[in-house]
Structure 1
Amino acid sequence: MEFAHLTVLSLFCLAFVGITATSPGEDYWQSIWPNTPLPKTFSDLLIPNGKTNSLPIKTEELNQYSTLFFEHDLHPGKKFVLGNSHPVGNIIRPFRKSRQGVTDSIWLANKDEQSLEDFCYSPTAIAEHKHCVSSLKSMIDEVISHFGTTKIKAISSNFAQNQDQYVVEEVKKVSENAVMCHRLNFENVVFNCHQVSKTTAYMVSLVASDGTKTNALTVCHHDTRGMNPELLYEALQVTPGTVPVCHFIGNKAAAWVPNHIVDNLRC
């Protein structure tokens, strides 16, 4: 009888350990930022085999990235329709011709197909530094190396589902020193962490057409010499290196910034 009790107790303990066990990536995160929740944006980095069964970024999320606009468009009352866009009057509207992957292809020549290796090992654009990471630990090490400190935070957007029309409610400047980490649109879980010189990050409060409120991480690039000239001209009728260009950051990405700047903006 005593043996049976011990067996049951052992099984219970094993089950409890299985439930509460954390991954090495989570342990590493907590060792640096104790009692700080891991942002949902990075949860894919905890998948055991490092691969999903489908492409992670759907059409709706692609539209979050592919809205290009000018910095002076960031003011209360401005209307946006998510998608590849250009300004018409007081409204940002989609392109007639849809595109995909603007979040990274604004820094690259257009390609119908591109392998993960093509992207990660391609030369960086002018004024850009990039690094592909496939684990939470490698991402943490990369951003700490960039900032030279652990006093940093990750912030991200929380766009509402099934909403593509928004009005700007408030604009807050976050930082002029940010590292953006984007989930690449491949089944293998890889993030592109890159930093582009002369870039300003904002957190923009938006109100959807149904009244839903959301926060949109937004970056404005002041050095656009390395941007895709075809996309810039189609979106804004400008050429690289002439004027600052901005775009939203979708839910599958985050910005790492100094933590003293954004104490109330963690997402």
Structure 2
Amino acid sequence: MAPSICTVAILMMVVVGASAAVLTPQNYWHAVLPNTPIPSALSRRLPKDDQGNVGSSQAVGVTVGPGVGVTVGTPGPGVVVNVNPFLYQYAATETQVHDNAGSALFFLEKDLVPGSRMTVHFAKTTTDVAFLPRSMANFLPFSSSKLPDVLSSLNVGSNSKEAAIIGKTLHRCEEPAVAGERRHCATSLESMVDFSTASLGSRDLLALSTEVSKPDSSKQVYVIPPAGVKKVGGNKTVACHAEPYPYAVYYCHATRPTKSYVVSLTGTDGTNVEAVVVCHTDTSSWNPRHIAFQLLKVNPGTVPVCHFLPSDHVVWARDV
């Protein structure tokens, strides 16, 4: 999916270049959240000019990288989980369970103690495509019922692999929420900020993403060092998961009760990770065949279920 002229790119240069001081996503962030640093998962997606300066016009590409979904399993090509494991109403296939049997894709809260050893591959789930300004994102169609218009606006062929990926993301964004959950697909950074502040009832927030010292590190065993587990915020968070799309789209959801942690990890090859962890203390509304229950051999609603966030996802919590 690499057209020579893209409607998105042209609109981006016109909208952002004409009114950068007013409309840039980063300016909106700093106006609403002046005390909250932008995490690297999001700063990598801010529009940049040809010199790499944030805040100028940028031609947004429309390529969707090969890492569609969550890449897990052995290093190398891995296994692509076509059903996002962070969508809790879906059942996992036997193949997905088998290929993740030795990985800490999900784990129990009791395992978050110094000395614990976990096999993890901290990989991005999508490519770092740029955010669009909200004015432009709102202008573009974003609905599975308007898929032909979506593909036309992005100059994507209707029978292409990229079209299928776009359609799957749109359907994910339209799935009904589970009990006690609020969800929103943010098609702009401004939209993500608004949903997170409204859901958490505050502008004094932390926005956290997993930081990996060697971004190309392979799947390996990590150990939690002494004093390596830090509790974050209260019992409510917003998690925003990157979705494969030609521009930055995040599936965000607010659930309660949850617990969030930042966990230090050291890998066998010397990779250091500051990993964001979300623990769900009420899983009673999840699909009983969800991959977490099958891997951990527990039942819905019985024990807290935790997972690391990939390096391109974000957790929001109150700064308490």
TM-score, structure 2 length as denominator?
A: 0.59
SS of 1:229's partner is coil
Amino acid at match of 1:127: G
**One-letter amino acid matched to 1:44:** R
Alignment correspondent of 2:231: 173
Give the 3 Å change call, closer, same or farther, for CA 28–162 of structure 1 in structure 2. Answer: same
Partner residue, 1:89: none
The residue correspondences of 1:8-19 to structure 2 (distance < 5 A) are none
Q: Closer, same or farther in 2 for the Cα pair 1:206/1:119, shift >3 Å?
A: same
CA 1:132/1:58 → structure 2, altered by over 3 Å: closer, same or farther? closer
Cα separation, 1, equivalents of 2:59 and 2:175: 25
1:39 CA drift (Å): 2.3
* Preserved CA contact (<8 Å) 2:222 2:268: yes
1:90-140 CA-to-partner distances (Å, cap 9, x unmatched) read xxxxxxxxxx99xxxxxxxxxx98712211111112222111011111111
Match of 2:168 among 77, 101, 115: 115
Amino acid at match of 1:128: E
Structure 1 residues 177 and 196: alpha-carbon distance in aligned structure 2, compared to 1, 3 A threshold: same
SS of the residue aligned with 1:115?
helix
Residues 197-236 of structure 1: matches in 2 within 5 Å?
A: 197-230=256-289, 231-236=291-296
Letter in 2 for 1:39: P
Structure with max Cα Rg = 1
1:195 lines up with 2:254 in the alignment = yes
Partner letter of residue 163 of structure 1?
S
**Is contact 2:36–2:205 with CA below 8 Å preserved after alignment?**
no
- CA distance 1:52–1:41, change in 2 (3 Å): farther
Pairing partner for 1:138 from 185, 191, 195: 191
Q: Unaligned stretches of 5+ in structure 1?
A: 1-17, 84-99, 102-111, 262-267
Question: How many correspondences in the alignment?
Answer: 215
Q: Which moved more, 1:171-180 or 1:31-40?
A: 31-40
- The answer as to whether partners of 1:51 and 1:189 remain within 8 angstroms in 2 is no
Q: Would you say 1:54 and 2:64 are equivalent positions?
A: yes
Q: How far apart, CA to CA, are the structure 2 residues paired with 1:129 and 1:30?
A: 25
Give the percent of matched residue pairs that are identical in Structure 1 and Structure 2.
33
| TM-fit CA distance, 1:44 | 2.6
Per the TM alignment, residue 142 of structure 1 is displaced from its structure 2 partner at its CA by 1.1
- 2:312 aligned with 1:252, yes or no? yes
**Aligned pair in 2 of structure 1 residues 241, 45: CA closer, same or farther (>3 Å)?**
farther
Q: 1:163–1:208: 8 Å Cα contact kept in structure 2?
A: no
Q: Distance between the aligned counterparts of 1:221 and 1:247, measured in 2? A: 9
Q: Deviations over 1:27-84 (max 9, x none)?
A: 111223348653221243648576641237468865798711111111111111126x
Post-superposition offset of 1:241:
1.6
Q: Which residue of 1 aligns with 2:160?
A: none
| Counterpart residue number, 1:75 | 113
Matches within 5 A, 1:85-104: none
The question of 1:162 aligning with 2:220 is answered no
Give CA deviations for 1:144-201 in whole Å, capped at 9, x if unaligned.
Answer: 2122221112011113431322111211111222111111133342101111111100
Q: Distance in 2 between matches of 1:233 and 1:26?
A: 39
Q: TM-score, normalised by structure 1?
A: 0.70
Determine the C-alpha separation between the residues in 1 that align with 2:181 and 2:35.
33
Q: Supply the RMSD in Å over aligned alpha carbons.
A: 3.1
Distance verdict in 2 for CA 1:223–1:59, change over 3 Å: closer
| Whole-Å separation in 2 of the counterparts to 1:131 and 1:29 | 18
* Change over 3 Å in CA distance of 1:51–1:62 after alignment to 2: farther
- Cα distance in 1, alignment partners of residues 248 and 311 from structure 2: 15
Higher strand proportion: 1
Q: Distance in 2 between matches of 1:49 and 1:30?
A: 23
